[in-house]
Structure 1
Amino acid sequence: MAFGMCATLSTYTSQNQAGYYATVAPAWELSFMTAIYLAGGISGGHLNPAVTLTMSFWRGFPTRKCATYILAQVIGGITARGIAYAIYHDSIVQSAVLNNVSQAKSPARQAMITAPKVFVHPVLAFFTGFLGTAILMGVIMALRDDTNAPPGARMQAFVIGILITVLILALAYTRGGCFNPARDFGGCLVAVMAS
């Protein structure tokens, strides 16, 4: 998450000089793909509370482990955002100064907090997030279904990474590309602590 967050902050604090919207999506793809490859053998690659709860309801993941996994995911989200904020602190401050606003109102806010654009109705923002998460979970469930011709254990993270890119490019403009509650909560908490 820290890599994806840093790529997003790089884009927003540089005012698109060090990246743009379409470069943020593959950065998140590669970040999540790498994390799934790193944690897949230990935890099954659970980086998202939606994954943990879905696997508990439909794939036999032990319910007693859900709270521990979700707590670890939230701590990971907070830590990743904190690291990204620390690395980009000077850029965030500079962006606020150049725009003559506080840090909380600088362009970096869009990178730290997933929120709908001002013109987007809250119901539409909720539906967009729900749809993106549902698609993500449907594909993950299909990848884990042996009767569905899965691509193989070594390719699942790659397919999920590609899907994350597509979801961000297709659905993130109006409400941000957060289909992971742990990532979203972590960003909000770090932004509140930093302001």
Structure 2
Amino acid sequence: MSPILGEIVGTMILIIFGGGVVANVSLKKSKAEGGGWIVVALGWGLAVAMGVYAVGSVSGAHLNPAVTLGMAAIGEFSWSQVPGYILAQMLGGFLGGVIVYFQFLPHWEKTEDKAVKLGVFSTDPAIPHTLSNLLSEFIGTAVLLVGLLAIGANKFTEGLNPLIVGFLIVAIGLSLGGTTGYAINPARDLGPRLAHFFLPISGKGGSNWKYAWIPVVGPILGGVFGALLYEVLFEGKVTAFFWSWTVLSAVVLAAAHFAGKRGTHSLRHGERIKN
């Protein structure tokens, strides 16, 4: 198996188990309906662990463009391989979403809530707020990269590393995930969101493209920042890239803040005109 195929298969496994647990606890008539947030967080942690176990020896099991870019940013991965890995991850996410759709085929019609159906495939904010939502994804992914690099710096009993990575995902979900659903992975959100858009899901509604940029941009900014921050904190390496990326992240967050304020103002102005 080639590394590219490994990333496709690993990300597909990630979404089969991760999207699957969301479908299991949220779609009507599922025996696991109402399982709750702890079940979802545990399911996603195991999803990541299983994906890493499956293809870790083949591709390194990035399964996440933010991880790929973060590793490249600190010289742990070749920039020439980045485009292929990211495309493979997106394809794997899409295929995983398609498989989840077929697994729960009769349950889509039984579920009336369009947002619940979309939630099986992609994330959305508990409170829509552009800056806060982007910042949540930034922080969650930065924590992910710092955690992954810290785990990699430790020696565990052979074969336990993927399970420890799974625990890290569970910790992020339980502690930080309630704000946006913790995409912390552009392929985890955009790939399945595309599947939602193309699949003939009964009564599915829109794919919420207005929000879709946040779980892509936030994890990319946060992932690279987290990897660079790890170098600063644990290795004492302060590079020009770190400062440049910090400034870039601050500019994007500031732009998101002002864009969100303009959107809120426009909405309120429209409501006043309507009334």
Shift of 1:64: 0.9
Give the deviation of 1:17 after TM superposition.
2.8
In structure 2, the partner of 1:115 is: 124
Query: How many Å separate the matches in 1 of 2:38 and 2:44?
Result: 11
SS in 2 for 1:167: helix
> Aligned equivalents of 2:92 and 2:171: distance in 1?
24
**Aligned pair partner of 2:47 in 28, 31, 34:** 31
Report what 2:17 is aligned to: 3
Distance 2:123 2:61 in 1: 23
Matches within 5 A, 1:121-160: 121-145=129-153, 149-151=154-156, 154-160=159-165
**Could you tell me whether the CA contact under 8 Å between 1:95 and 1:106 is conserved in 2?**
no
Larger Rg: 2
The aligned amino acid for 1:44 is G
Q: Which secondary structure state, in structure 2, belongs to the residue aligned with residue 174 of structure 1?
A: coil
State how far apart, in whole Å, the 2-side matches of 1:135 and 1:150 are: 20
The CA RMSD over aligned residues, in Å, is 1.8
Separation in 1 of the partners of 2:156 and 2:75?
18
Q: Give the distance between the partners of 1:64 and 1:87, measured in 2 at CA.
A: 36
Residue 193 of structure 1 aligns with an amino acid whose one-letter code is F
What's the counterpart of residue 179 of structure 1?
Answer: 184
Separation of aligned partners in 1, 2:158 and 2:70: 19
With a CA cutoff of 8 Å and minimum separation of 6, indicate the structure with the bigger relative contact order.
1
Cα distance, 1:136 vs. partner?
Answer: 0.4
In structure 2, the partner of 1:189 is 194
User: Which of structure 1's runs of 4+ aligned residues deviate more than 4 A?
Assistant: none
Q: 1:5/1:154 Cα in 2 relative to 1: closer, same or farther (>3 Å)?
A: same
For 2:115 and 2:71, locate their aligned partners in 1 and report how far apart those are by CA, in whole Å. 38
Q: Which amino acid aligns with 1:124?
A: S
Q: Deviations over 1:90-123 (max 9, x none)?
A: 2121112xx5xxxxx2522222221112x33121
Other-structure match for 1:102: none
5+ unaligned residues in a row in structure 1: which ranges?
100-104
User: Which deviates further from its counterpart, 63-72 or 136-145?
Assistant: 136-145
Q: Is the 8 Å Cα contact of residues 28 and 110 (structure 2) preserved in structure 1?
A: no
The one-letter code sitting in structure 1 at the alignment partner of 2:185 is: N
8 A Cα contact 1:92 1:106, kept in partner = no
Stretches of structure 2 that go unaligned for 5 or more consecutive residues are 1-14, 205-275
State the match for 2:83 in structure 1.
67
Q: CA deviation at 1:18?
A: 5.4
Q: Report the CA distance between 1:153 and its aligned residue.
A: 5.3
Aligned partner of 1:56 in structure 2 is 72
Contact kept in structure 2, 1:120 and 1:174, CA below 8 Å: no
Superposition TM-score, scaled by structure 1 size:
0.87
Cα offset, 1:19, TM superposition: 2.0
Aligned-residue sequence identity (percent) comes to 29
After TM superposition, give the deviation of residue 54 of structure 1 in Å.
1.2
> In structure 1, what is the Cα distance between the partners aligned to 2:55 and 2:96?
15
Work out the number of aligned pairs and report it.
Answer: 184
Whole-Å separation in 1 of the counterparts to 2:139 and 2:157: 26
Deviations 1:140-167 (A, max 9, x none): 112233xxx3435522211110010111
CA contact (8 A) 2:64 2:89 kept: yes
> If the length of structure 2 is used for normalisation, what is the TM-score?
0.63
Q: Secondary structure at the match of 1:133?
A: helix
Distance in 2 of aligned mates of 1:106 and 1:125: 17
Partner of 1:20: 36
